[in-house]
Amino acid sequence: MPSLKDLKNRIASVKATQKITKAMKMVAAAKLRRAQEAAEAARPYSQRMSAVLSNIAQAVGSDDSAPRLMTGTGRDQTHLLVVCTAERGLCGGFNSQIARFARDHVRKLLIEGKTVKIICVGKKGFDILRREFASLIIDRVDLREVKRVGFENADQIGKKVIGLFEKGEFDVCTLFYSEFKSVISQVPTALQLVPAAVSTDVAAADTGAAAIYEYEPDAGEILSDLIPRNISVQVFRALLENVAGEMGAKMSAMDNATRNAGDMINKLTLSYNRQRQAQITKELIEIISGAEAL
Amino acid sequence: MADFNFELVSPERLLLSERVTEVVIPATDGEMTVMANHAPTMTTIKPGIVTVKAVDGTTARYVVFGGFADILPTGCTLLAESAVPVGELSRDVIEKRIEAARAELEHSSADEHKTGIEQFISEMTALNGIVVAA
């Protein structure tokens, strides 16, 4: 049985922890709002982009002039996985969720006899994947110093991917990130970047596919300019969703931690009071029995 | 004069969305002026200055670093890789970009890539001249 002093100390330390988790929750909430705003601000661009892309893809059709980034190399041997995670922990299962999802994917590919290469964006994913696939990780992107994810960060990653593709380093590229559904739910998602999966149905309908465009320079050239850009945009979107997801996960994790700390304080206070009472009773008995003996 | 809706969008945010009468776009094949009821056109743009003439007659100028424009009779959307109002752009930003491109040029080996970067540098240098003059 811990002494009164021990209990008192423990209550004090749990209280201190609770203060920290509470502060972290509030910080995460503020950052979440900003991250959501950023994600919303970025939406018009990516919407427009995919609309335009599907428009042109229709115009170009599937002739040979279509860029290789869109049609692929025709093989399916080497896979590049870009795994985006957060830079910091203390956000519940957020990072391990993405990493686990990516790991299952890697295992499946390895069993099928494919070659796998991994680029890690963010420290946490790197730490987790390094344990099992250290030899497969060819590169890692560190965003630790980045306060606010900008398009340049995404563009760098996009250029890296395109550079590798031009050197023939891989055939298929898949992006792993966490889709931000709501504050309490983030879903790990895989998105194929190369060959670019261009949807030709949904987006075309609302931009008036009937419009016959003039292309300047010709459609093929615009397309080959757009596809690399689109890769960067997709990466950018993934990064923004990740930030929002991370903050959401952190917020609920810290909320839980604060509540747990509260429960713990209650329990400890109860046993502290009980013990104090027992001690008083014990002292009283000693005095009374001493008086009776006289 | 007839007006139309012009949107200037960068990946980070929507910079501008308003009724305008005239927009000058630095298209890859030369500058073009877009007015209402323009034929549907899709064009890539090179780094340069976009001049927007609003309905009330005021003009605003933005520096854009590449991207593309989607022109319809009823409106025009410019998707820029990055865009800033001319007043907020300093020469350092451009020079930094040129330097970064030069560094990249030294490291790259593919000829096609090199030509691309060289073209980019020359475009940026031209832009630098324009901004300084403005």
Binary contact (B110, A151; C-beta < 8 A):
no
Binary contact (A222, B43; C-beta < 8 A):
yes
The three-point CA angle B65-B82-B48 to 5° equals 25
Q: What is the pLDDT of residue A153?
A: 87
Q: Where are the domains of chain B?
A: 4-86, 90-133
Binary contact (B68, A55; C-beta < 8 A):
no
Which pair of tokens denotes residue B128? 């630098």
Domain-located, residue A203: yes
- Give the CATH number of domain B4-86: 2.60.15.10
CATH code, A63: 3.40.1380.10
ipTM: 0.72
Average pLDDT, chain B: 82
Rounded alpha-carbon distances, angstroms, from residue B46 to A213, B31, B41, B69, B122: 20, 10, 16, 11, 11
Catalytic residue check, A91: yes
Strand ranges inside B28-134, DSSP E = 30-35, 41-45, 48-54, 59-64, 67-72, 75-80, 83-85
Which pair of tokens denotes residue A40? 């919303």
Q: What is the pLDDT of residue A71?
A: 72
Q: What is the pLDDT of residue B134?
A: 56
Strand ranges inside A43-113, DSSP E = 78-84
Q: What is the pLDDT of residue A30?
A: 94
Evaluate if residue B21 carries a pLDDT over 80.
yes
- The DSSP secondary structure of A149-218, one letter per residue, reads --HHHHHHHHHHHHHHHHTT--SEEEEEEEEEEETTEEEEEEEEEETT----SHHHHHTTTTPPPEEES-
Binary contact (B42, A213; C-beta < 8 A):
yes
Evaluate if residue B112 carries a pLDDT over 90.
no
Q: What is the pLDDT of residue A203?
A: 43
By percentage, how much of chain B surpasses pLDDT 90?
Answer: 10
Give the residue numbers spanning the domain of A223.
39-252
Q: Is-cis flag, bond preceding A195, omega within 30?
A: yes
The pLDDT profile of chain A, 294 residues, written as one tens digit per residue, is 788 999 999 999 999 999 999 999 999 999 999 998 888 888 888 888 877 777 777 776 655 566 777 777 778 889 999 999 998 888 888 999 999 999 999 999 999 999 999 999 989 989 999 998 989 999 888 888 777 888 888 888 988 898 888 888 888 899 999 988 888 888 999 988 888 766 554 444 444 444 577 887 777 778 777 888 888 888 998 999 899 999 999 999 999 999 999 999 999 999 999 999 999 999 999 999 999 998
Query: How many contacts (CB atoms, under 8 Å) link A and B?
Result: 77
Given the residues A84, A91, A120, A173, the one annotated as active site: A91
Domains in chain A: how many in total?
A: 1
Q: What is the pLDDT of residue A205?
A: 44
Which residues of chain B have a CB within 8 Å of the CB of A236?
A: 11
Q: Is B67 left (phi over 0), alpha (psi -120 to 50) or beta?
A: left
Binary contact (A216, B28; C-beta < 8 A):
yes
Q: What is the pLDDT of residues B67-96, one digit of tens each?
A: 888 888 888 889 888 888 877 777 777 777
Q: Are A97 and A89 in contact (CB under 8 A)?
A: no
Which is more confident, B125 or A108?
Answer: A108
**Whole-prediction pTM:** 0.81
Which is more confident, B129 or A272?
Answer: A272
What would the mean pLDDT of B105-130 be, rounded to a whole number? Answer: 73
CA distance A229 to A162: 10
**Closest Cα partner for B64 from B22, B110, B23, B5?**
B23
Strand partners, A190: A176
Domain-located, residue A67: yes
For A56, name the nearest residue in chain B, comparing CA atoms only: B42
Kind of pairing between the strands at A214-216 and A185-194: unpaired
With tokens 């049985």, the residue in question is A1
Which residues of chain B have a CB within 8 Å of the CB of A214?
A: 39-42
- Nearest C-alpha of chain B: how many angstroms from A109? 31
Interface test with A, best of B5, B8, B10, B13 (most A CBs within 10 A): B13
Which pair of tokens denotes residue A227? 């596809």
Q: What is the pLDDT of residue A99?
A: 92
Q: What is the pLDDT of residue A206?
A: 46
Domain-located, residue A277: no
